[in-house]
A and B are shown apart, each in its own frame.
Chain A
Amino acid sequence: MTTFALPIPKRPTHPTGILNWITTIDHKKIGVLYGVTAFILFLTGGIEALLIRMQLAAPGMDFVSPEIYNQLFTMHGTTMIFLAIMPMGAAFFNYLIPLQIGARDVAFPRLNAFSYWTFLAGAIMLKSSWFLGGAPNAGWFGYAPITEIAYNPGHGIDFWILSLQVLGIASLAAAFNFIVTIINLRAPGMTLMRLPVFTWMTLITSILLVLAFPVITVALIELMFDRFYGMNFFNPVRGGNPVLWQHLFWVFGHPEVYILILPAMGLVSEIIPTFSKKPLFGYPVVIFSGIVIGFMGWMVWSHHMFTVGLGAVANSIFAITTMLIAVPTGVKIFNWIATMWKGSIDFNKTAMLYSIGFIFLFIIGGLSGVMHSSAASDAQQQDTYFIVAHIHYVLFGGAIMALLGGVYFYFPKITGKLMDESLGKINFWLTFIGMNLTFFPMHFSGMDGMPRRIYTYTSEMGWDLWNLISTFGVFIMGAGILIFVLNIVYSYLRGKESGNDPWDARTIEWAIPSPTPEYNFKKIPLIHSVDAFWEFKRNGTPIEPASGASENSEDEKNIHLPQPSYWPMVVSIGIMLAAYGMIFGLPISILGTIIGFIGVYAWSLEPVNEPEQH
């Protein structure tokens, strides 16, 4: 490298403090960054929801202005889906996948850091719209033509478009990375049918991501061109077709739903067997139904559009496929229940309570989902609070419950400390009760015809009671989440030492010390079965180091780890500036593009520091 004199600074060696975090390419630190950032954004989305519920608490309220109200529900939906649930899933992917497959890191550690920083850039961009002229206000699926410039002249939609593009880049980069990691970096002996279920679900999620995101990218590009350059894609006045937006959005949007729920299903499939002391019932069936869900997720998108008028044939076909996709989902639920059947279930663990809560609430959400798979019935439910109830039962009752359970389950792995179980139980019950108080009444207000997204309503409609209960429930749920935060802080500071394997768990990430050492596995293990660590503990099948793996080392100092780098963040900053420049002026875009290019070149040319002398 000495012959090649480019002015690229050396990689940071042993950075400390903040530099450590911004140059890190360690999947565990990136996972923690993802988790903390996503949780903070989850809280902001929660505050937006709280304001919505305050406005709807009683008829004729004027708590926020109608303009702000529209921005609130748009930002709430967009935040929760793209900035909270997806990155919380990504936090678990990052932390767990290399541990579950017995690897030192992901396949492309710097790309992984880039995913995080780009996600953060997109999040900052979306949230900054509140302070830069108004947030987007067209709902989280931004149906055209309300998003067209003629009807929506402010910058809100521009922020929405551009930040979703930036977030898309982040998600795509992460998904490519995990596909390659799971295919290529498995420890010897870890065949596909020995992968932990969470890893399997991550693989399916990542494949869905790389296939679904390009479609929304195109739709957003087209909308952006309409707005910025006066093109006609979704502008009916010039022959454009707004229904095409709906199609493109839902071609992406429906796989996206499974992108949100499959990681949660994966986590639950880890937690339930552990606390039932039984292997997962029908492991291959769980995997197979995951694959079927991933495949069939592409055939159902028009069920979001039953009232558009696609015709009887199209509606019937999509109604049938939608009913069919409930089958693999139901199969999974039976698998979890059968796993618990006759197991010695530990109800004292919050993670288990959350998992059972997940099953319970997800069944309710799934059943209301099957109800509107019938096109005729959906015509009554479309755009009412019944749909709002459904989506919250599957996304809060489903995804969030499982993710919170996952935090309780994996907190010892990350910090080496146990989370407080008494606080945990209060946390769980408040969240569970609050969640049901908030969202269950929405079934009734929806059936009574209350449309979603309305600013207010009159008392004659008869929706007062349901709305009041819903608003009341939000406060209980909020209290539950506050206790969760309290528990995290308390346990991080004062929590009991957990030891390596506090749950008597099954998969190999628990075979190594907690908190996880920087190099994960001192020796790359050789895998003989699914649940290898359980086999080791119960049947004495040893987890021996794979012979011939060149990375193995007795002395941890000899383990080569990928080195930190400045450039992933530089590229992300470039992308963020390029996106901001689309709104605030071309020079900023050009500057961003230049920074991005410098970052990419430096990234591909930066030297690797020589291994230190020992």
Chain B
Amino acid sequence: MKTENIKHEENEHSYTGLNSKKLLMWAFLGSDCMFFAALIATYLVNMGNNPPGTPFPEDVFSIPITTVSTFVLLMSSMSMVLSYASLSQNKIKAFRVWLLSTVILGATFVGFQIFEFYEFSHHEVKVECGDLIDASKREKLTDLQVKIGDEKCIEGVKKVSEKVPLTPQVNLFGSTFFTLTGFHGGHVTFGIIWLLSLLIYSFKGNVSPLNLDLAALYWHFVDVVWIVIFTVVYLFGVFPGY
């Protein structure tokens, strides 16, 4: 029934032979590139403008954790494409299973992000006072650690710590980072709602491969944006050369 309706809805001839909705989706993705470019550019150009004494990328990022969440999102892309492949071969059960795993993996990714946001906003700087004296170890400490260590380490104290939360308000790194990754997370969340809607709908009507493909394109795009963010924001962000 659903496909019949779609036929009425769409204008039947297409000059290029391409599906109009798919064309729309690709145009949207091209446009969304500009959206994320503006956010990433804002992040990059503001990197040097943070007041000292506030958390910098190297203070808060944990590359192993983010690598895991990156992996989770990549896997969700794989299950998405498998879901699409199953639907186009009319394997409805496999399609639903893969779609559900995509949703779960996507939700896991968002969970990681929420965890990260929480951690950052409760960030605690810890310094081993011994490291401050050893020149080679001191070199590896972040500016913030050195600052806090120099302030707080006195005779007989081994470890000091201080709460220095990273919030969107505290410095430009906070503003740009939370806005950029927040909008990415928003995109993922929207994708989850979309995929869930298709999953629920598949029990009531027929999801056409085309409709799933549209959601899949969106989903993979959000994934490639994360590939860029992971490298540019996280890996380059912690890289001491900056």
Contact = CB atoms under 8 A, between A and B. Distances in A.
B28 A176 contact: yes
Interface string A493-511: 0000000000000000000
Nearest to A550: B12
A22 interface: no
A184 B14 contact: yes
Interface residues of B, number: 43
Nearest to B23: A180
A251 B13 CA distance: 37
Given A4-B204, A180-B20, A230 B169 contact: yes
Contacts of A176: 24, 27-28, 31
A454 interface: no
Given A218-B39, A222-B179, A4 B27 contact: no
Contact of A239 (B18, B50, B169): B50
B46 interface: yes
A169 to B, nearest CB: 12
A176 B30 CA distance: 11
Interface stretch (A206-214, A342-350, A402-410, A440-448): A206-214
A58 interface: no
B199 to A, nearest CB: 14
Given A215-B34, A244-B42, A232 B14 contact: no
Interface stretch (B155-163, B170-178, B221-229): B170-178
Contacts of B14: 184-185
A219 B42 CA distance: 9
A611 B47 CA distance: 60
Interface in A581-614: 601, 607-608
A287 interface: no
Given A176-B24, A179-B27, A239-B51, A524 B38 contact: no
A107 interface: yes
B23 to A, nearest CB: 5
Interface string B1-36: 100010011111111101010011001101110110
B38 A103 contact: no
A16 interface: no
Contacts of B5: 1, 607-608
B49 interface: yes
Contacts of A244: 42, 45-46
Given A183-B16, A233-B175, A562 B9 contact: yes
Given A211-B30, A229-B169, A184 B1 contact: no
Given A180-B24, A184-B15, A240 B30 contact: no
B20 A108 contact: yes
B15 A214 contact: no
Interface string A181-192: 001111110100
Contact of B49 (A215, A222, A239): A239
A213 B31 contact: yes
A188 B17 CA distance: 11
A107 B12 CA distance: 10
B168 interface: yes
A218 B31 contact: no
B205 interface: yes
A241 B45 contact: yes
B40 to A, nearest CB: 10
Given A218-B38, A221-B179, A241 B15 contact: no
Contacts of B169: 229-232
A579 interface: no
A214 B50 CA distance: 26
A254 interface: no
B197 interface: yes
A219 B1 contact: no
Which range contains the number of A residues in contact with the other chain? Answer: 35 or more
Interface in B90-104: none
A233 B177 CA distance: 11
B126 to A, nearest CB: 26
Nearest to A225: B179
Contacts of B38: 214-215, 217-219, 248, 251
A188 B15 contact: yes
Interface in A98-126: 103-105, 107-108
A172 B50 contact: no
A62 interface: no
Contacts of B205: 3-4
Nearest to A551: B12
A108 B21 CA distance: 9
A238 B50 CA distance: 8
Contacts of B15: 183-188, 190
Contact of B11 (A3, A104, A240, A607): A104
Contacts of B174: 231-232
A214 B35 contact: yes
A188 B15 CA distance: 7
A3 B175 CA distance: 50
Contacts of A4: 1, 204-205
Contact of B197 (A184, A211, A601): A601
Contacts of A238: 51, 171-172
Contacts of A211: 30-31, 34
Interface string A386-403: 000000000000000000
A581 to B, nearest CB: 17
Most buried by A among B13, B30, B50, B172: B13
A231 B175 contact: yes
B24 A108 contact: yes
Contacts of A551: 12-13
A371 to B, nearest CB: 31
A148 to B, nearest CB: 13
A233 B20 contact: no
Interface in B34-61: 34-35, 37-39, 42, 45-46, 49-51
A221 B186 CA distance: 14
A320 B46 CA distance: 28
A537 interface: no
Contacts of B31: 172, 176, 210-211, 213-214
A608 B9 contact: yes
16 contacts: A108-B20, A183-B15, A183-B16, A185-B14, A210-B30, A211-B31, A211-B34, A214-B32, A214-B34, A214-B35, A219-B38, A221-B183, A222-B42, A225-B175, A551-B13, A608-B5
Given A211-B31, A231-B168, 4 more contacts: A213-B31, A241-B46, A550-B13, A608-B9
Counting from the closest, the 9 A-B pairs by CB-CB distance are A218-B38, A214-B35, A239-B49, A231-B175, A214-B34, A210-B31, A186-B15, A107-B20, A608-B8
Interface of A: 1, 3-4, 103-105, 107-108, 172, 176-177, 179-180, 183-188, 190, 210-215, 217-219, 221-222, 225-226, 229-233, 238-241, 244, 248, 251, 524, 549-551, 560, 562, 601, 607-608
